[in-house]
Structure 1
Amino acid sequence: MNTGYGSVGSSLRDLPWLRDHRRRRVSSWDRTGGNIDRVTVCPGKTLTLADIQTAGSVNRLWMSVAPAGFDAGIDHDYLRLLVLRITWDNAEHPSVLVPLGDFFGVGHGRTTNFVSAPLQMSPEDGKGFTSWFHMPFAERARFELLSECQQADIWVYYHIDYDEFDALEDGLGRFHAQWRRSNPTPGISDEGMTNDEFQFGGTNLTGEDNYSILEATGRGHYVGCVLNVVNLRETTKGNWYGEGDDMIFVDGEPFPPSLHGTGTEEVFNMAWCPTQSYNAPYHGLTLPGGPNWSGQISMYRFHVEDPVPFRRSIRVSIEHGHANRRSDDISSVAYWYQEPPHTPFDLPPALERLP
């Protein structure tokens, strides 16, 4: 009997339990029996990676991509021009719509070696992408890769591993991921202020102007994000970008929300204006930026042990600098599970996604 999702987990303690589901894979293996184990997506085209028509749960997605001939030309930012789109159960709208590189945990169209529990980039130079997020579905799972490159053909290598079930039980949310960006965030001028006044002054008693990582309606739980910053302030004074508090508003609650933080580094389990690369199962700083917190920064925080449930709605937000005074380039990926249907969301055009 090919049973459903069940109660057996993925911990080492659970491995001895015998199971009845079937293990399946869709991959880019060479159907001629040769060794060209890849497919190609051309500019402006959509590649269907998998169209699975059964009940099941994807639990490993591995990918690696490269420009054909390793020459991207004008499409050197191809990790922002390739879009992963995933649709569950014949839904009208996709539940995952994210630039490929950002989906796997690092922003700015860059790769770097790092390890977390749900997402990883592995050698060589972080170009082996893996997602371990469990993604259940009741009758269909459609994985697509869209190319908005202008010239480059992209070689695509992939595995999509899933468990096949007779049926999916009730009570399982569908996996979602959304990309957002504000470039720049609407801050204020520092003219006439001391650096301390600009960086640490002011008040925010509404949260209305915070950067929104996620706004969703329905019932579900938020399980984390990747947050990317490009420091746009040019100064020789202290230029720490991360004095913004996180504020998570659940089910329409007023300010102050039940979940109110104390600064960007605390949200991501770090401290004292970090400048060092670090990765752990549930949090990390994959791109720490340059001197005086300059340049491109990327970090992640996954709520595996502490998901944030919502019954009607959720808004996950963070200040851009204390009291929203800074004007930086901020982008993000939010990950969550929820009951269908979800509120539809779009992806900004290609030119608005470029680093």
Structure 2
Amino acid sequence: MLNSLYLRKEGLSRRQSSWDQTGGNRDFIVIGAGQTAAIAEIEGSGIIQHIWMTIAAKNKYAFRKVLVRMFWDGEEEPSVESPVGDFFGVGHGVASHYVSMPLNMITTQGVIEDKAAMNCFFEMPFRSSARIEIINECEDEMVLYFYVDYVEKEISEDSFYFHASWRRENPTQGTVDLAALKLEHDRQDKANYADQKVYEVKNLTGDGNYVLMDAVGEGHYIGCNLSIDHLNPMPGFSWPGEGDDMFFIDGEPWPPRLHGTGTEDYFCAAWGYPSGKYDSPYHGVSLYAPIRGNGDAWRESNTILFNDYSGKMTQYRFHIVDPVIFRESLRFSIEHGHGNSQSNDYSSVAYWYQREPHKSYPEMLPVHLRLPLPEKESAKQFYRTF
């Protein structure tokens, strides 16, 4: 990247933004409740290189209530569809400071926030047009500041289109009755009894995994974020991971050629997330919010207590240098706990490039089914099986 900065660049630099065209300082737009605003309508060919935005909204969880959609070359179905917070890398309807190579949120460090600057540096080519929409599904109007920076230029034939899709399964369907197992575990009064029972479960098909991406066509997968609200832990063990990642490429049968060893392993960590929240260019934990007390509030901390993986988290992994290539299709999924044993709240955004047309995405959930579980309810469910 740095070793090519001095080379001559082709194209014409352009921007669409919310600047006040009267010369004043009202450099924002107002989007009414239930309204949609197009923040970029570009004709011709080019590449979007940077998107910056920040929102001001009265409503809690605006980062889940507000949607972003992107359309390339006049397509009717969006290639990008996600709640705005999840798209920029943090789930559960809140803001959290982190910095990765393609995405970031800039806000107060060490606390859970309701405001942030959000940046995206994924390049997004288009051949005849590009349209970016922001949909306000809050109960009240919202204020939006934005930049969309792009370059006008011809696009090569081998250029794929950018895609991103949000999904949620709440709760995932666990293969083990962990509430019953907790009762048996307590009666046995034997260390590791519950662990041994859960690890007897075998998953030799990938059926029942949480699906992050299901694409048809030719392209390459470039990463994801995965948000978990840990509602259904193993007795005495607060870690929600141990779920293997599985990439089924071009319709291949079991076992997939890319099969992982555990959730934190796929996200480039090990032995859980010993540092709690952290960020790096290609992988990290952008949100770490364990339960505090009886769930009155999320703990506002970047550091982790030993084995405290209760509550809500978002982890991310970007395949910038190691994209997963597919020629016909790609189905990427991950177990929710070993052998899909746990019933937790999973949501995610997958990012990839592919040729159009793309397979239709699952229908976007209505607002009430997108909202995170209140903290007290999360705590109640967590302690039911922990």
Give the structure-1-normalised TM-score.
0.92
Residue matched to 1:143: 132
Please give the alpha-carbon distance, in whole angstroms, between the structure 2 residues aligned to 1:311 and 1:321.
30
Matching residue within 324, 332, 335 for 1:319: 335
Residues 146-225 of structure 1 aligned to structure 2 (within 5 Å): 146-150=135-139, 152-165=140-153, 167-187=154-174, 188-190=176-178, 191=180, 192=184, 194-225=193-224
Gaps in structure 2 of 5+ consecutive residues: 110-114, 186-192, 291-304, 373-386
> Residue 281 of structure 1 corresponds to which residue in structure 2?
281
5+ residue gaps in structure 1? 1-10
Are 1:77 and 2:61 counterparts?
yes
Q: Deviations over 1:84-141 (max 9, x none)?
A: 0000000121100000000000100111111100001113557010000000000100
Quote the residue 1:87 is aligned against.
71
- Supply the distance in 1 between the matched residues of 2:105 and 2:87 (Cα, whole angstroms): 11
Deviation digits for residues 285-313 of structure 1 (CA, Å, limit 9, x no counterpart): 12234263100010100000000011111
Q: Counterparts of 2:171 and 2:367 in 1: how far apart (Å)?
A: 17
Task: Provide the rounded CA distance (Å) in 2 between the counterparts of 1:336 and 1:278.
Answer: 24
Q: Deviations over 1:155-210 (max 9, x none)?
A: 10000000101x32101110000000110000021213532135433100000110
Report the Cα distance in structure 2 between the residues aligned to 1:235 and 1:206, rounded to whole angstroms: 23
Query: 1:236 & 1:96 partners in 2: Cα distance?
Result: 39
In structure 1, the residue corresponding to 2:336 is in which secondary structure? coil
Quote the residue 1:40 is aligned against.
30
For residue 298 of structure 2, what is the aligned residue in structure 1? none
Secondary structure of 1:293's match? coil
- 2:335 aligned partner, one-letter code: E
- The reply to whether residue 103 of structure 1 matches residue 83 of structure 2 is no
Instruction: Give the TM-score taking structure 2 as reference length.
Output: 0.85
Point out 4+ residue stretches in structure 1 off by more than 4 angstroms: none
Distance 1:56 1:258 in 2: 36
Identical positions, percent: 44
Please give the alpha-carbon distance, in whole angstroms, between the structure 2 residues aligned to 1:101 and 1:322.
28
Please name the residue that 1:230 is paired with: 229
Give the match for residue 313 of structure 2. 297
Secondary structure of residue in 1 paired with 2:16: strand
Residue of structure 2 in register with 1:130 after alignment: 119
Deviation of the 1:236 alpha carbon: 6.6
CA distance in 2 between counterparts of 1:270 and 1:100 reads 26
- The CA deviation string for residues 192-236 of structure 1, in whole angstroms up to 9 with x for no partner, is 353213543310000011000000100001000000000002677
Equivalents in 1 of 2:264, 2:233: separation in Å?
A: 21
Aligned to 2:102: 118
Of 311, 322, 334, 1:306 maps to 322
- Whether the aligned pair in 1 keeps the contact of 2:195 and 2:234 (CA below 8 Å) is no
Match of 1:349 among 343, 352, 366: 366
CA contact (8 A) 1:229 1:297 kept: yes
Aligned residues: 337
Q: How far apart are the structure 2 equivalents of 1:26 and 1:124?
A: 27
How many angstroms does 1:273 deviate by? 1.3
Contact 1:199 1:321 in 2 (8 A): no
Q: Residues 154, 258 of structure 1: CA spacing in aligned structure 2 closer, same or farther, 3 A cutoff? A: same
